[in-house]
């Protein structure tokens, strides 16, 4: 493992140069990886592994025809590489549990019966294992329990793979029954297209993930955007101006500078007026939201957020309720202005060779 200095703290990470694709193929040469669920993470992980030369099958219930049809459209063959969930679990030696968190407890009885000695149960989220009192998911003692959690959506995982880039992932071993759990875990992590892998635990992964999604990554970001947009509109700014100053400049300019070299570098490459204002107001925003983040972490650690997910997502009318909530966001003035703004962006020609399965995420990365 490489030891990297993260802000004064050295951490061990697994680079592709250390755990090559060739090594991953060797470790998994006798394994059949059954990807259960073809919704969010399933397509990206399964297609990346298939393109990288691993033996992959997909388990998806026909009861959810849109996901089944999507799998067929993506090239999975019914009866050959695409099966009902139980059949895929029976055939698989590494079973990837990639159905939604709320659905995992529902399909668990059909998966558990096929977890015979020596198999591996794989997750991309610590949810079901950490909150076992709510999910009822307790794996048999004679199977490996491992996790690789890509730090991005399944769409991003696949897109980065096709562009030749990897996406960072965390990994963890919860149960090592075969004494090969870590090796299997890292091999699958490389197979799905990780740029590098960093160690965590199931608990730390799910705590950080739930806080991140509700916080900076989605909840806080959307809330702050709406607050600024509404403030500008209330003071007479046009929808176009309010949206550009709130969202477009962030997503199309500033955040890309942060991604390249960090927030401090972005600050140093903005105007003196922007620098001064940002430095003055940053601590004010931190002070304002710190109590919210403390409350959020407490709810995640206590299991309250998990309970909320299971109860709401499991409701018979959840899709209808969700549709209304998303429609409200979609139809808001702010995001209607966003749609118009995006339509005015200059169209860039697709780069040659961008959509190939080679490069950092593909077969040539050995």
Q: Can you give the length of the chain in residues?
A: 366
Do 120 and 15 lie in one domain? The reply is yes
Report percent pLDDT > 70 for the chain.
95
Do 145 and 220 lie in one domain? The reply is no
Do 31 and 59 lie in one domain? The reply is yes
Considering the domain boundaries, does residue 360 fall inside one?
Answer: no
Q: How confident is the model at residue 316 (pLDDT cuts 50, 70, 90)?
A: confident
Do 279 and 251 lie in one domain? The reply is yes
Cα(52)–Cα(24) distance, integer angstroms: 10
18 phi and psi, to 5 degrees?
Answer: -90, -40
8 Å CB contact between 93 and 119: yes
- Beta strand segments in 31-152, E: 33-36, 56-59, 82-83, 94-97, 120-123, 144-150
Q: Could you write out the DSSP letters of every residue in 260-301?
A: HH-HHHHHHTS-HHHHHHHHHHHHHHHHHHHHHHHHHHHHHH
Do 168 and 223 lie in one domain? The reply is no
Considering the domain boundaries, does residue 352 fall inside one?
Answer: no
Do 10 and 159 lie in one domain? The reply is yes
Does pLDDT of 11 surpass 60?
yes
Does pLDDT of 352 surpass 70?
no
Cα(124)–Cα(153) distance, integer angstroms: 11
Here the tokens at position 120 are 């591996």
Cα(165)–Cα(159) distance, integer angstroms: 8
Considering the domain boundaries, does residue 359 fall inside one?
Answer: no
Nearest Cα neighbor of 41 from 154, 175, 199, 184 is: 154
Do 34 and 164 lie in one domain? The reply is yes
Number of independent structural domains in the chain: 2
What percent helix, strand, coil does the chain show, rounded to 5?
55, 15, 30
Cα(199)–Cα(358) distance, integer angstroms: 26
Q: Which residues of 113-139 are buried (b: 16+ CB within 10 A; e: fewer)?
A: ebbeeebbbbbbbbbbbbbeebbebeb
Q: What is the mean pLDDT of residues 28-45?
A: 94
Q: How confident is the model at residue 366 (pLDDT cuts 50, 70, 90)?
A: very low
Do 151 and 65 lie in one domain? The reply is yes
3-state secondary structure of 143: coil
Do 196 and 314 lie in one domain? The reply is no
Do 167 and 290 lie in one domain? The reply is no
Contacts of 12 (CB under 8 A, 6+ apart): 1, 2, 3, 4, 198, 199
**Mutual orientation of helices 318-330 and 304-313 as an angle, nearest 10°?**
100
Q: What is the mean pLDDT of residues 305-314?
A: 89
Considering the domain boundaries, does residue 207 fall inside one?
Answer: no
CA 13 to chain centre: 19
Residue 218 sits at the vertex; the CA angle it makes with 210 and 299, to the nearest 5 degrees, is 30
The structure's pTM equals 0.85
Does pLDDT of 177 surpass 60?
yes
For residue 195, give the H/E element and its range.
Answer: strand 194-199
Q: What is the mean pLDDT of residues 66-90?
A: 96
Q: What is the largest CA-CA distance in the chain?
A: 67
8 Å CB contact between 188 and 150: no
Query: For 179-238, how does the pLDDT look when each residue is reduced to its tens digit (9 = 90+)?
Result: 999 999 999 999 999 988 999 999 999 999 999 999 999 999 999 999 999 999 999 999
Considering the domain boundaries, does residue 308 fall inside one?
Answer: yes
Residue 45 sits at the vertex; the CA angle it makes with 40 and 49, to the nearest 5 degrees, is 160
| Average model confidence (pLDDT) across the chain | 91
Of 140, 169, 201, the position where a domain reaches its end is 201
Q: How confident is the model at residue 152 (pLDDT cuts 50, 70, 90)?
A: confident
Considering the domain boundaries, does residue 351 fall inside one?
Answer: no
Does pLDDT of 64 surpass 90?
no
CA quadruple 38, 115, 79, 34: dihedral positive or negative?
Answer: positive
Q: How confident is the model at residue 350 (pLDDT cuts 50, 70, 90)?
A: low
The verdict on whether 125 is a catalytic residue reads yes
Query: For 244-256, how does the pLDDT look when each residue is reduced to its tens digit (9 = 90+)?
Result: 999 999 999 999 9
Q: Could you write out the DSSP letters of every residue in 299-345?
A: HHHHTHHHHHHHHHHTSTTHHHHHHHHHHHHHTSHHHHHHHHHHHTS
Do 240 and 306 lie in one domain? The reply is yes
Of 201, 233, 255, the position where a domain reaches its end is 201
* Containing structural domain, residue 339: 215-343
CATH code assigned at 166: 3.40.50.720
CA quadruple 146, 150, 153, 157: dihedral positive or negative?
Answer: negative
β-bridge pairing 144-150 and 9-15: unpaired
Contacts of 91 (CB under 8 A, 6+ apart): 32, 34, 57, 83
Considering the domain boundaries, does residue 362 fall inside one?
Answer: no
Q: What is the mean pLDDT of residues 101-124?
A: 94
Considering the domain boundaries, does residue 361 fall inside one?
Answer: no
Give 197: exposed, middle or buried? Use CB within 10 Å, 0-12, 13-18, 19+. Answer: buried
Do 154 and 60 lie in one domain? The reply is yes
Q: What is the mean pLDDT of residues 333-338?
A: 95
């Amino acid at each position: 493992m490489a030891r990297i200095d993260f802000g004064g703290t050295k951490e061990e990470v697994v680079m592709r140069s250390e755990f090559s694709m060739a090594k991953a193929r060797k470790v998994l040469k006798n394994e059949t990886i059954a990807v259960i669920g073809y919704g969010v993470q399933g397509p990206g992980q399964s297609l990346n592994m298939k393109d990288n030369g691993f033996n992959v099958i997909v388990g998806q219930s026909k009861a959810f025809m849109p996901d089944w049809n999507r799998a067929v459209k993506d090239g999975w063959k019914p009866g050959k590489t695409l099966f009902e969930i139980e059949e895929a679990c029976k055939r698989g030696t590494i079973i990837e549990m990639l159905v939604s968190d709320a659905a995992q407890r529902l399909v668990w009885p059909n998966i558990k019966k096929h977890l015979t000695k020596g198999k591996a149960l794989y997750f991309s989220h610590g949810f079901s294992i950490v909150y076992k009192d709510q999910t009822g998911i307790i794996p048999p003692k004679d199977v490996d329990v491992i996790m690789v959690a890509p730090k991005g959506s399944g769409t991003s995982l696949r897109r980065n793979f096709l562009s030749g880039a990897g996406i960072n992932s965390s990994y963890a071993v919860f149960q090592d029954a075969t004494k090969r759990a870590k090796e299997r875990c890292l091999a699958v992590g490389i197979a799905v297209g990780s740029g590098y892998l960093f160690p965590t635990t199931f608990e730390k992964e799910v705590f950080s993930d739930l806080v991140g999604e509700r916080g900076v990554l989605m909840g806080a970001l959307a809330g702050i955007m709406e607050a600024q947009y509404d403030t500008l509109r209330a003071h007479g700014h046009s929808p176009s101006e309010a949206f550009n100053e709130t969202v477009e400049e962030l997503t199309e300019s500033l955040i890309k500078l942060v991604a390249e070299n960090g927030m401090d570098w972005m600050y140093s490459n903005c105007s003196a007026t922007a620098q001064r204002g940002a430095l003055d107001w940053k601590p004010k925003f931190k002070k304002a939201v710190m109590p919210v983040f403390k409350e959020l972490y407490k709810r995640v650690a206590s299991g309250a957020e998990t309970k909320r997910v299971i109860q709401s997502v499991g409701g018979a009318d959840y899709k209808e309720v969700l549709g209304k909530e998303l429609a409200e966001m979609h139809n808001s003035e702010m995001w209607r202005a966003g749609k118009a703004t995006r339509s005015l962006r200059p169209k860039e020609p697709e780069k040659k060779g961008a959509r190939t399965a080679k490069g950092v995420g593909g077969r040539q990365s050995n």
